[in-house]
């Protein structure tokens, strides 16, 4: 995480955080790009799993290995090309990176972090590590990333 792009301090959010979070959640459920990533990943996993299971049933452990590899190749060939979420997030324009950092800060502040604790790279890393143990924080951060992909 040494290459984290958050060089600017995250401003303290104003207004009703719960309302913003609900709006964010609603928006992210409509993310076509992330649905495509998930759908393609799921298809590839099914091909790989089906190959491993078939090979394992017919030829044991070695068959499972070979079948998994063969299924992965078939899944790769049958699934349209797509970029993962991290590739998209790394390519965000500067303004959208700032918006993402603001959303992440809002999720962490809603979980109990202070705005001052998010002002530098080390403090943000610590807040992420501390608060990401909570399921709602992980979901909020994921959803913030999804929203950034929609813009």
- What is the C-alpha separation between 21 and 65, in angstroms, rounded? 44
Contact 16, 134 (CB under 8 A): no
Distance of CA 13 to the CA centre of its chain: 22
5: DSSP letter = -
Residue 89 in contact with residue 99, Cβ under 8 Å?
no
Q: Average per-residue pLDDT in the chain?
A: 77
What does the pLDDT read at residue 113? Answer: 85
Report the pLDDT value the prediction gives residue 56, as an integer from 0 to 100.
95
- At residue 60, does pLDDT exceed 90? yes
Region 56-64 average pLDDT: 95
What is the model's pLDDT at position 1?
39
Residue 6 DSSP class = -
pLDDT in tens, 95-122: 888 888 888 888 888 888 888 777 777 7
Q: What is the pTM of this model?
A: 0.49
List, for residues 30-44, the tens digit of each pLDDT value: 556 666 777 888 888
């Amino acid at each position: 995480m040494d290459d984290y792009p958050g060089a600017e301090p995250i401003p303290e959010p104003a207004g009703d955080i719960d309302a913003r979070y609900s709006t964010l959640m609603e928006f992210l459920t409509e993310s076509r790009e992330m649905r495509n990533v998930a759908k393609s990943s799921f298809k590839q996993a099914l091909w790989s799993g089906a190959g491993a299971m078939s090979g394992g049933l017919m030829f044991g452990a070695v068959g499972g290995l070979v079948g998994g590899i063969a299924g992965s190749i078939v899944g790769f060939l049958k699934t349209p090309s797509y970029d993962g979420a991290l590739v998209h997030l790394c390519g965000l324009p500067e303004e959208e990176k700032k918006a993402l950092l603001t959303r992440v800060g809002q999720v962490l502040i809603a979980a109990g972090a202070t705005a001052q604790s998010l002002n530098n790279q080390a403090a943000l890393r610590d807040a992420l590590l501390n608060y990401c143990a909570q399921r709602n924080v992980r979901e909020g951060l994921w959803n913030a990333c999804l929203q950034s992909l929609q813009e």
